[in-house]
């Protein structure tokens, strides 16, 4: 049984290479209140138009939201759409030095029309154009330049001509010689071009198509065919509402049921799974841990409209809904806690180490819960051998979001984040720290009593 909270707390910042097809995902969002007098079609009153990176760009954005450093390699055209795409990615602090411009190639655009959270129509503007030999050489040279910095590589193939057989062979060979795991989201019927990748992640239809079999064939047989063809360590088949199924070259099958029953839009969910799987492998989690985290992230992604990012904060909140007692963070887990709190308002409540479980403590936390509203409540419990029962009590409360038990741990967290308000318990009364800017010094000197 995978302990997902433990896996989550083990996450660190990593460097990821994302290689694949790029597209502009365009959304026209509005409402429909009438039928056109010109033809029997609905009239959309457009209220919002937005353009964001899709395909490999969406994978990169998801990885940035997870806290990774991302080096993106892909292709755009020599046009305004391509330059706007690069500007967007740069603002997200994604390294785009590996994104090349190819002449006579138009940047791909997928335009979606959405009303009342429902996608009505998609319009594709794209040309499948093979990557030129000159461009392929430039891509390979850039990968060789950065590869020693990378912890893991994600390949996002949408079969738009960028990932040629030759380029894929070079990518996989470069990664193999450096023992860097490669996670592949494939397209097409020839999976042999992903030879010797670490894990390949087709959906159910893609798996049957690549194995040249119909749905009447057992999935177990499909798994054995594809593992032999690809010679990957793992094959992960995503099966929509039926979850995911893992096959490994050592043999055996493991099913992972879906974690969400509410589906608003599956657009981009595969990119989210690829990003989280990649993040897991880059952090040296087991394949089962990586899948469980990816499954959790996918359950969040499909409840959003369009290609959307899933953050570590959202994943943690979902995990704590399942296992609320795992709220205690120590020094090894501060990266995950930092990601969960980044960009959020939170209150800090300090409890002295000689504090006992009491009605007064419970009432103090209830009063803070009324004050915090939508904010998170972080409890700092001064470390002591006698605090285990108190720690468990605090973690059991819905009103408490996170618990830290060491001044040193908290000080490292507060190097980057500061609470909106700070409180401490004295003589069974909740008091506010008058000068929160002096909080770090007080904690280090153990002056809060």
- List, by residue number, the catalytic residues: 271
User: CB–CB of 237/223 below 8 Å?
Assistant: yes
Q: What is the C-alpha separation between 397 and 320, in angstroms, rounded? A: 12
β-bridge pairing 15-20 and 152-156: parallel
Q: What is the C-alpha separation between 444 and 432, in angstroms, rounded? A: 18
List the 152-156 sheet strands across, edge first: 95-102, 69-77, 15-20, 152-156, 182-185, 199-200, 234-238, 244-248, 253-256
| 317 half-sphere exposure, CB direction, 13 A CA radius | 11
| Residue among 312, 305, 263, 303 at smallest CA distance from 283 | 312
Largest CA distance in the chain: 77
| Residue among 343, 270, 347, 346 at smallest CA distance from 311 | 343
β-bridge pairing 199-200 and 234-238: parallel
User: CB–CB of 9/336 below 8 Å?
Assistant: yes
Distance of CA 388 to the CA centre of its chain: 33
| Residue among 63, 64, 75 at smallest CA distance from 19 | 75
Q: Radius of gyration over alpha carbons of the chain, in Å?
A: 25
Can you give the length of the chain in residues?
449
SS3 18: strand
Contacts 24+ apart (CB under 8 A), 254-261: 254/288, 256/291, 256/292, 256/295, 258/295, 258/298, 258/299, 259/295, 259/296, 259/298, 259/299, 260/298, 260/299, 260/300, 260/302, 260/303
To the nearest 10 degrees (0 to 180), the angle between helices 269-282 and 56-65 is 50
Q: What is the C-alpha separation between 265 and 186, in angstroms, rounded? A: 21
- Sign, CA torsion 436/65/183/323: positive
SS3 326: coil
């Amino acid at each position: 049984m995978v302990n997902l909270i433990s896996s989550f707390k083990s996450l660190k910042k990593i460097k990821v290479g994302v290689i694949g097809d790029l597209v502009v995902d365009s959304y026209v969002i509005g409402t429909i209140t009438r039928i056109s007098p010109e033809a029997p079609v609905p009239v959309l009153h457009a209220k919002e138009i937005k353009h964001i990176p899709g395909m490999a760009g969406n994978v990169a954005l998801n990885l940035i939201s997870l806290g990774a450093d991302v080096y993106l390699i892909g292709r755009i055209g020599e046009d305004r759409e391509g330059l706007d795409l690069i500007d967007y990615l740069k603002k997200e602090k994604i390294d785009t030095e590996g994104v090349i411009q190819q002449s006579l190639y138009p940047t791909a655009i997928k335009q979606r029309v959405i009303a009342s959270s429902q996608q009505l129509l998609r319009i594709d503007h794209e040309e499948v154009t093979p990557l030129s030999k000159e461009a392929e050489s430039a891509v390979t040279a850039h990968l060789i330049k950065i590869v020693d910095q990378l912890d893991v590589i994600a390949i996002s193939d949408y079969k738009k001509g960028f990932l040629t057989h030759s380029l894929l062979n070079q990518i996989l060979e470069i990664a193999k010689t450096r023992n860097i795991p490669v996670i592949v989201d494939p397209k097409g019927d020839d999976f042999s071009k992903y030879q010797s990748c670490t894990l390949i992640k087709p959906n159910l239809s893609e798996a049957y198509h690549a194995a040249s079999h119909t749905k009447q064939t057992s999935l177990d047989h499909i798994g054995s065919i594809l593992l032999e063809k690809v010679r990957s360590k793992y094959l992960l088949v995503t099966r929509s509402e039926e979850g995911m199924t893992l096959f490994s070259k050592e043999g055996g099958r493991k099913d992972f049921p879906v974690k969400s029953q509410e589906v608003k839009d599956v657009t981009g969910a595969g990119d989210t799974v690829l990003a989280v799987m990649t993040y897991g492998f880059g952090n040296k989690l087991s394949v089962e841990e990586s899948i469980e985290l990816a499954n959790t992230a996918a359950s969040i992604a499909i409840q959003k409209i369009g290609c959307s990012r899933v953050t570590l904060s959202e994943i943690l909140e979902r995990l704590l809904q399942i296992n609320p007692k795992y709220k205690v963070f120590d020094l090894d887990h501060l990266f995950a806690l930092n990601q969960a709190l980044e960009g959020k308002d939170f209150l800090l409540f300090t409890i002295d180490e000689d504090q006992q479980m009491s009605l007064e403590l419970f009432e103090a936390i209830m009063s803070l819960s009324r004050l915090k509203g939508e904010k998170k409540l972080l409890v700092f419990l001064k470390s002591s051998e006698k605090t285990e029962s108190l720690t468990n009590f605090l973690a059991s409360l819905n009103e408490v979001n996170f618990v830290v038990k060491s001044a040193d741990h908290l000080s490292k967290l507060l190097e980057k984040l500061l609470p909106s308000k700070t409180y401490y318990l004295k003589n069974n009364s909740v008091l506010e720290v008058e000068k929160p800017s002096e909080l770090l010094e007080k904690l280090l000197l153990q002056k809060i009593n």
